[in-house]
């Protein structure tokens, strides 16, 4: 680990292996900027950059990436769930600001305990709030845009606040351009009995029982037209296909898992096998760093 100096705004800058920041456990080094406020973020955005959330949708090259990698930290990874008195009603709560760097799983558990309903369908998604909002992560039991009131977005041109109605969002898509950083959000939730929220969380979680438990970035392809991409890959007979130390999971064919020591090249090769064998066009859900054109 090398601590780099030279940030005017006081951001911590280190050269780090990105593998440790991804759920796949693959990826070489990059210059990581840990930004705690808007001034630090603005400085980080002065040069080409990428934004790293929970690293749960990323396949990062073994050579790493040349751009700065921005990670939200400090106050941008903290939450204020106090109801805003001016905006909340007896049935509905608008919270204070929740940082884009807050881990989603802990937030979902906390909302359940507080009896705040709306986001429990996203249980089990190992993202950060900013990454989950950027992708509109979700399951068939709910998605991030079910519980958003305001989204704060930073770009090199400045910071602005938008509401879901301002964006063209949909399945796995927030409509927020790549590189625009979701710094904070305010949540809009319904008051409910904690037991009721827990029951809905358990129900959504149950749908994951067939998903593999190994190192993975989740589903490789988006579901085309609502059809399960996993089912299509399965029907193409590809479950259990292995390249190097990466494997198409026998439990669910849309998951690629790292058996230990997999490389990004192994994963790319499996993605190419899937594209060659499944005839229905499918859009990649994984994000490849650096970007890689079609094979």
- In the bound state with ligand EPU, the residue whose beta carbon lies nearer, of 43 and 285, is 285
Peptide bond into 290 cis (omega under 30): yes
Find all residues with CB under 8 Å of 199, minimum gap 6, and list them: none
The number of beta carbons lying within 10 Å of the beta carbon of residue 39 is: 13
* Binding of residue 26 to ligand FAD (CB under 6 A): no
Of positions 117, 136, 241, 254, contacts ligand EPU by CB under 6 A: 254
Site for ligand FAD in 198-237 (CB under 6 A): 216-218
* Binding of residue 64 to ligand FAD (CB under 6 A): no
Q: How far is the CB of 85 from ligand FAD (least distance, A)?
A: 28
- In the bound state with ligand FAD, the residue whose beta carbon lies nearer, of 149 and 180, is 180
Of positions 25, 118, 138, 164, contacts ligand FAD by CB under 6 A: 138
Whole-Å CA distances, 110 to 107, 202, 248, 295: 5, 15, 34, 43
What is d(CA 119, CA 88) in angstroms, rounded to the nearest whole number?
17
* Binding of residue 277 to ligand EPU (CB under 6 A): no
Binding-residue pattern over the window 67 to 106 for ligand EPU, x denoting contact by CB under 6 A? ----------------------------------------
Burial 70-81 (b: 16+ CB within 10 A, else e): bbbbeebbbbeb
Of positions 31, 230, 236, 266, contacts ligand EPU by CB under 6 A: 230
**Is 190 noted as a catalytic residue in this protein?**
no
Give the strands of the sheet with 2-4, arranged side by side.
2-4, 12-17, 29-35, 68-72, 49-52
Angle between helices 104-113 and 194-206 (to 10 degrees): 140
- In the bound state with ligand EPU, the residue whose beta carbon lies nearer, of 184 and 252, is 252
| Residues 103, 54 contacting (CB under 8 angstroms) | yes
Find all residues with CB under 8 Å of 274, minimum gap 6, and list them: 220, 221, 233, 236, 238, 248, 282
* Binding of residue 253 to ligand EPU (CB under 6 A): yes
**Is 15 noted as a catalytic residue in this protein?**
no
| Longest Cα–Cα distance in the chain | 57
* Binding of residue 23 to ligand FAD (CB under 6 A): yes
List contacts with ligand FAD (CB under 6 A).
23, 50-58, 72, 100, 125-128, 130-132, 134-135, 137-139, 172, 181-182, 216-218, 287
By annotation, the residues acting in catalysis are 172, 219
List contacts with ligand EPU (CB under 6 A).
139-140, 207-208, 210, 218-219, 222-223, 228-231, 234, 252-254, 285
């Amino acid at each position: 680990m090398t601590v780099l100096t030279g940030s005017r705004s006081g951001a911590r800058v280190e050269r780090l292996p990105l593998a440790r920041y991804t759920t796949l456990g693959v990826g070489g080094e990059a210059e990581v900027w840990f930004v705690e406020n808007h001034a630090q973020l603005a400085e980080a955005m002065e040069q080409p950059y990428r934004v790293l959330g929970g690293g749960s949708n990323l396949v990062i090259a073994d050579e790493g990436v040349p751009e700065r990698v921005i990670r939200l930290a400090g106050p941008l990874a903290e939450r204020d769930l106090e109801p805003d008195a001016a905006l909340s009603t007896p049935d509905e709560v608008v919270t204070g600001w929740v940082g884009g760097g807050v881990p989603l799983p802990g937030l979902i558990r906390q909302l359940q305990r507080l009896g705040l309903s709306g986001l429990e369908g996203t249980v089990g998604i190992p993202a950060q709030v900013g990454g989950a909002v950027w992708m509109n992560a979700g399951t068939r039991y709910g998605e991030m845009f079910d519980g958003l009131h305001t989204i704060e977005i930073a770009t090199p041109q400045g910071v602005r606040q938008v509401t879901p109605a301002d964006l063209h969002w949909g399945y796995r898509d927030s409509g927020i351009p790549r590189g625009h950083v979701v710094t904070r959000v305010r949540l809009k939730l319904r008051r409910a009995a904690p037991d009721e929220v827990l029951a809905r969380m358990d129900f959504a979680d149950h749908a994951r029982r067939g998903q593999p438990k190994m190192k993975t970035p989740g589903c490789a392809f988006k579901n085309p037209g609502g059809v399960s991409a996993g089912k299509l890959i399965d029907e193409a007979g590809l479950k259990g296909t292995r390249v190097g130390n990466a494997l198409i999971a026998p439990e669910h064919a849309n998951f690629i898992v790292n058996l230990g020591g997999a490389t990004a090249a192994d994963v790319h090769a499996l993605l190419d096998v899937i594209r060659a064998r499944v005839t229905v066009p499918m859009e990649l859900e994984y994000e490849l760093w650096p970007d890689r054109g079609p094979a």
